[in-house]
Structure 1
Amino acid sequence: MPIRFHRLNDQKEVLVNEVGDHLVVPSGTFARLVQKELDKEGEADLYGDLVAGHFIAESPIPTLIDVLATRYRTKKSFLDNFTTLHLFVVSLRCEHTCHYCQVSRVTQDKGKFDMSRAHIDKGIDIMMQSPSPHVTMEFQGGEALLAFDNIVYAVDRTKELALLHNKTVTYVICTNLAVINEEMLNYCKENNILISSSLDGPASVHNENRKRPGKNSYELAIRGIELSRKILGKSRVSALMTTTNLSLEHPIEIVEEYYRQGFWNIFLRPISPYGFAVKNEAKNKYEMDKFLSFYKKALNRILEYNLQGEFFREDYATIILRKILTPFPVGYVDLNSPTGAVTNVVVFNYDGAVFASDESRMLAEMKDFTFQLGHLDTDSYEDLMYGEKARKIVAAGTNESLPGCSDCAYQLYCGADPIHHHATQGDMIGYRPTSTFCQRNMEIIRYLIELMDSDKKIKSIFESWVKPQF
Structure 2
Amino acid sequence: MTRKFLHVENFGANIPYYLLPFRFHRINETKEVIVNEVDDFLVVPVGTAAQIIERKINRREDATLYGDLLANFFISEQPIPELIDVLATRYRTKKSFLDHFTSLHIFVISLRCEHTCHYCQVSRVTADKDKFDMGREHINAGIEMMMRSPNPHVTMEFQGGEALLAFDNIVYAVERTKQEAVLRNKKVNYVICTNLAPLTEEILAYCKENAILISTSLDGPEFIHNKNRHKPHSNSYQLAVDGVMKCRQELGEENVSALLTTTNLSLQHPEEIVDEYVNRGFRNIFLRPISPYGFATKNAGKNKYQTTAFLEFYKKALNTIISYNLNGYYIREDYASIILKKMLTPFPVGYVDLQSPAGIINSVIVFNYDGKIYASDEARMLAEMNDFTFLLGDLSVNTYEEIFYGEKSMELAEVFTNESLPGCSDCAFQSYCGADPVFNYTTQGDTWGHRPTSSFCQRNMEIMRHLIELMDSDKKIEKVFRSWITGKTDAIKN
TM-score (norm 2): 0.94
Q: Which has the larger radius of gyration?
A: 2
Can you give the 5+ residue segments of structure 1 that lack an aligned partner in the other structure? Answer: none
What SS does structure 1 have at the residue aligned with 2:373?
A: strand
Which piece of structure 1 moves more, 258-267 or 109-118?
Answer: 109-118
What SS does structure 2 have at the residue aligned with 1:66?
A: helix
TM-superposition CA deviations, 1:78-114 (whole Å, max 9, x none): 0001000000000000000000001111015544200
Selected match of 2:352 from 326, 333, 338: 333
Aligned to 1:104: 123
Distance 1:469 1:351 in 2: 45
The question of 1:440 aligning with 2:467 is answered no
What SS does structure 1 have at the residue aligned with 2:281?
A: coil
The question of 1:350 aligning with 2:369 is answered yes
Distance 2:319 2:233 in 1: 35
Equivalences for residues 124-203 of structure 1 within 5 A:
124-203=143-222
TM-superposition CA deviations, 1:372-404 (whole Å, max 9, x none): 110001101111111111122232110000000
Aligned to 2:69: 50
Distance 1:404 1:329 in 2: 23
TM-superposition CA deviations, 1:236-255 (whole Å, max 9, x none): 11000100000000000000
The question of 1:298 aligning with 2:320 is answered no
Aligned to 1:396: 415
What SS does structure 2 have at the residue aligned with 1:396?
A: coil
The question of 1:373 aligning with 2:392 is answered yes
Distance 2:452 2:71 in 1: 34
The question of 1:113 aligning with 2:126 is answered no
* RMSD of aligned residue pairs (Cα, Å): 1.0
Distance 1:414 1:242 in 2: 21
Aligned residues: 470
CA contact (8 A) 1:342 1:394 kept: no
Letter in 2 for 1:239: A
Distance 2:189 2:292 in 1: 29
Letter in 2 for 1:358: D
Selected match of 1:95 from 100, 114, 123: 114
TM-superposition CA deviations, 1:188-247 (whole Å, max 9, x none): 000000000000000000000001112410010011111111111111110001000000
The question of 1:288 aligning with 2:317 is answered no
Distance 1:466 1:234 in 2: 19
- Pair 249,426 (structure 1): closer, same or farther in 2 beyond 3 Å: same
Equivalences for residues 353-364 of structure 1 within 5 A:
353-364=372-383
Distance 1:185 1:309 in 2: 33
TM-score (norm 1): 0.99
Letter in 2 for 1:291: F
- Pair 322,286 (structure 1): closer, same or farther in 2 beyond 3 Å: same
Shift of 1:468: 4.9
Distance 2:324 2:304 in 1: 30
Which piece of structure 1 moves more, 114-123 or 211-220?
Answer: 211-220
Letter in 1 for 2:425: S
Aligned to 1:18: 37
Which piece of structure 1 moves more, 117-126 or 34-43?
Answer: 34-43
Shift of 1:276: 2.1
CA contact (8 A) 2:293 2:382 kept: yes
Distance 1:445 1:391 in 2: 31
CA contact (8 A) 1:273 1:423 kept: yes
The question of 1:457 aligning with 2:468 is answered no
Distance 2:383 2:241 in 1: 32
Distance 1:110 1:320 in 2: 41
Distance 1:468 1:77 in 2: 22
What SS does structure 2 have at the residue aligned with 1:341?
A: coil
CA contact (8 A) 1:3 1:16 kept: yes
Equivalences for residues 51-90 of structure 1 within 5 A:
51-90=70-109
What SS does structure 1 have at the residue aligned with 2:113?
A: coil
Distance 2:192 2:211 in 1: 11
CA contact (8 A) 1:347 1:354 kept: yes
Distance 1:391 1:210 in 2: 38
Distance 2:192 2:420 in 1: 36
CA contact (8 A) 2:119 2:294 kept: no
Aligned to 2:16: none
Distance 1:407 1:292 in 2: 23
The question of 1:279 aligning with 2:298 is answered yes
What SS does structure 1 have at the residue aligned with 2:106?
A: strand
The question of 1:421 aligning with 2:417 is answered no
Selected match of 2:336 from 297, 317, 322: 317
Shift of 1:124: 0.2
Letter in 1 for 2:477: I
Distance 2:107 2:403 in 1: 16
Identity %: 67
Distance 1:249 1:51 in 2: 46
Aligned to 2:54: 35
Letter in 2 for 1:72: Y
Can you give the 5+ residue segments of structure 2 that lack an aligned partner in the other structure? Answer: 1-19, 490-494
Distance 2:130 2:401 in 1: 30
Aligned to 2:9: none
- Pair 308,109 (structure 1): closer, same or farther in 2 beyond 3 Å: closer
Distance 1:469 1:281 in 2: 42
Distance 1:71 1:136 in 2: 26
Which piece of structure 1 moves more, 356-365 or 390-399?
Answer: 390-399
Aligned to 2:21: 2
What SS does structure 2 have at the residue aligned with 1:327?
A: coil
Distance 1:359 1:96 in 2: 20
CA contact (8 A) 2:112 2:130 kept: no
- Pair 469,240 (structure 1): closer, same or farther in 2 beyond 3 Å: farther
What SS does structure 1 have at the residue aligned with 2:33?
A: strand
Instruction: Point out 4+ residue stretches in structure 1 off by more than 4 angstroms.
Output: none
The question of 1:220 aligning with 2:246 is answered no
Distance 1:79 1:365 in 2: 29
Distance 2:180 2:62 in 1: 62
Aligned to 2:14: none
CA contact (8 A) 1:347 1:358 kept: yes
Letter in 2 for 1:370: T
Distance 1:352 1:96 in 2: 24
Shift of 1:42: 1.0
Shift of 1:2: 0.4
Letter in 2 for 1:197: T
The question of 1:258 aligning with 2:273 is answered no
CA contact (8 A) 1:100 1:276 kept: yes
